[in-house]
């Protein structure tokens, strides 16, 4: 049974940081403030698909203001009911290419989506509303970034620059080619064992406080670096958008400084969760976001008792495909007394 009402004591669900630093797996609601501004000089996108501004060679940058347009289109990813004006670009790559489409430097609450070859309302080729990969939400308030878009040569892709609610304003669109990100599982690593998520996936595996009953992967202590390979991703379920959240349980006999590190094919949220008062008051001791294919570390002195190492995507971006590989390292979780070499059988357990 999915448990979508998990609350954290930091009361983040409606804050500007909510999309970046909550261990919940369902996308929270957000408040909308219209930031419409004066029209800047320079080129702007086309009014609709028929008049779309043509994207030339990559990398490509264009700037404009959506407030001068009308509301021609809208897609849900996953927020609904937008009445924002939008503008359109058209890109026809000569050969297959992997690209990022970036609105992070825009001044309002943006949304970006793409149609392949034709207008397909309700089933866009790609769609992203908020992307914490843009950076600190206090600086980049709800901007959009489509990552790793696999475009087929000869097809035409209509890129719609839109907004949330009725928001509009200055935008900067960047489109640039990227290299494919592949994360290899290190030798002798332990495998998480969870199947890849998928549309309407019911996450019953190590979903921690996001599941009833609670479900964790229990990690045994070791005097060597622990390496765990897993997968993550974002998926729709019952009309909402969820992240695959992985909760790894540590039990310390005494306080210890633990260092975790991770690298992933999708942007990650990585952190330590305080479990001292159970799920009702679970909250991050410390957390960090990691860009894709960038090994990132975090250290924290945990108290004696149970704590969780949390791994998930850093946003509810459906472009973060299920089955995105990551590896997690744990250092400092040492055994306080001599023990026989562990078999790691407990890490394979669904429920503890």
Q: Which domains does the chain have, with CATH numbers?
A: 49-177 (2.60.120.380), 190-348 (2.60.120.380)
**Mean pLDDT of the 213-220 span:** 95
pLDDT confidence tier of residue 52, bands split at 50, 70 and 90: very high
Q: What count of other Cβ atoms lies within 10 Å of the Cβ of residue 298?
A: 18
SS3 content of the chain, % helix, strand, coil (to 5): 5, 35, 60
**Mean pLDDT of the 187-207 span:** 94
Comparison of pLDDT for 86 and 344, the residue scoring more: 86
pLDDT of 347: 47
Query: Of 10-14, 151-155, 156-160, 316-320, which gets the smallest average pLDDT?
Result: 10-14
pLDDT beyond 80 at 265: yes
Mean pLDDT of the chain: 84
pLDDT of 238: 85
> Cα angle vertex 61, ends 56, 62, to 5°?
95
**Mean pLDDT of the 285-300 span:** 94
pLDDT of 201: 94
pLDDT of 1: 25
Give the total residue count for the chain.
352
Q: What percent of the chain has pLDDT over 70?
A: 81
- Beta-sheet strands, E only, within 246-345: 246-252, 256-264, 268-274, 283-290, 296-302, 305-313, 324-331
Q: What count of other Cβ atoms lies within 10 Å of the Cβ of residue 122?
A: 7
In this structure, the dihedral spanned by the alpha carbons of residues 128, 125, 73 and 26, taken in order and rounded to 10 degrees, is -40
Query: How many whole angstroms separate alpha carbon 264 and alpha carbon 205?
Result: 19
**Mean pLDDT of the 35-40 span:** 50
pLDDT beyond 60 at 344: no
pLDDT beyond 80 at 12: no
pLDDT of 134: 66
The C-alpha R_g of the chain, in whole angstroms, comes to 21
pLDDT confidence tier of residue 78, bands split at 50, 70 and 90: confident
């Amino acid at each position: 049974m999915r448990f979508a009402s998990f609350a954290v004591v930091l009361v983040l669900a409606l804050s500007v940081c909510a999309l970046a630093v909550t261990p919940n797996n369902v996308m929270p609601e957000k408040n909308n403030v219209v930031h419409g501004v004066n029209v800047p000089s320079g080129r702007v996108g086309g009014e609709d698909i028929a008049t779309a501004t043509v994207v030339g060679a990559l990398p490509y940058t264009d700037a404009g203001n959506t407030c001068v347009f009308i509301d021609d289109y809208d897609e849900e990813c996953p927020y609904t009911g937008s009445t924002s004006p939008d503008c359109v670009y058209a890109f026809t790559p000569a050969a297959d290419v992997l690209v990022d489409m970036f609105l992070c430097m825009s001044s309002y609450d943006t949304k970006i989506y793409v149609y392949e070859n034709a207008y397909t309302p309700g089933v866009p080729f790609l769609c992203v509303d908020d992307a914490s990969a843009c950076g600190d939400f206090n600086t980049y308030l709800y901007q959009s970034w489509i990552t790793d878009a696999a475009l087929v040569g000869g097809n035409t892709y209509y890129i719609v620059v839109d907004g949330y609610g009725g928001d509009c304003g200055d935008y900067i669109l960047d489109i640039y080619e990227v290299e494919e990100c592949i994360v290899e599982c290190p030798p002798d690593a332990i495998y998480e064992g969870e199947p890849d998520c998928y549309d309407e996936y019911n996450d019953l595996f190590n979903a921690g406080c996001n599941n009833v009953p609670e479900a964790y992967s229990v990690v045994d202590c070791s005097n060597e670096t622990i390496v765990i390979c897993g997968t993550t991703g974002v998926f729709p379920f019952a009309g909402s958008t969820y992240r695959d959240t992985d909760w790894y349980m540590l039990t310390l006999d005494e306080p210890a400084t633990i260092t975790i590190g991770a690298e992933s094919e999708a942007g990650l949220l990585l952190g330590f969760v305080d479990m001292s008062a159970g799920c009702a008051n679970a909250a991050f001791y410390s957390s960090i976001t990691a860009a894709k294919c960038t090994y990132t570390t975090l250290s924290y002195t945990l108290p004696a008792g149970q704590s969780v190492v949390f791994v998930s995507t850093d946003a509810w971006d459906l472009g973060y495909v299920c089955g995105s590989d990551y590896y997690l390292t744990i250092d400092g979780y040492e055994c306080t007394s001599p023990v026989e070499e562990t078999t790691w059988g407990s890490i394979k357990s669904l429920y503890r």
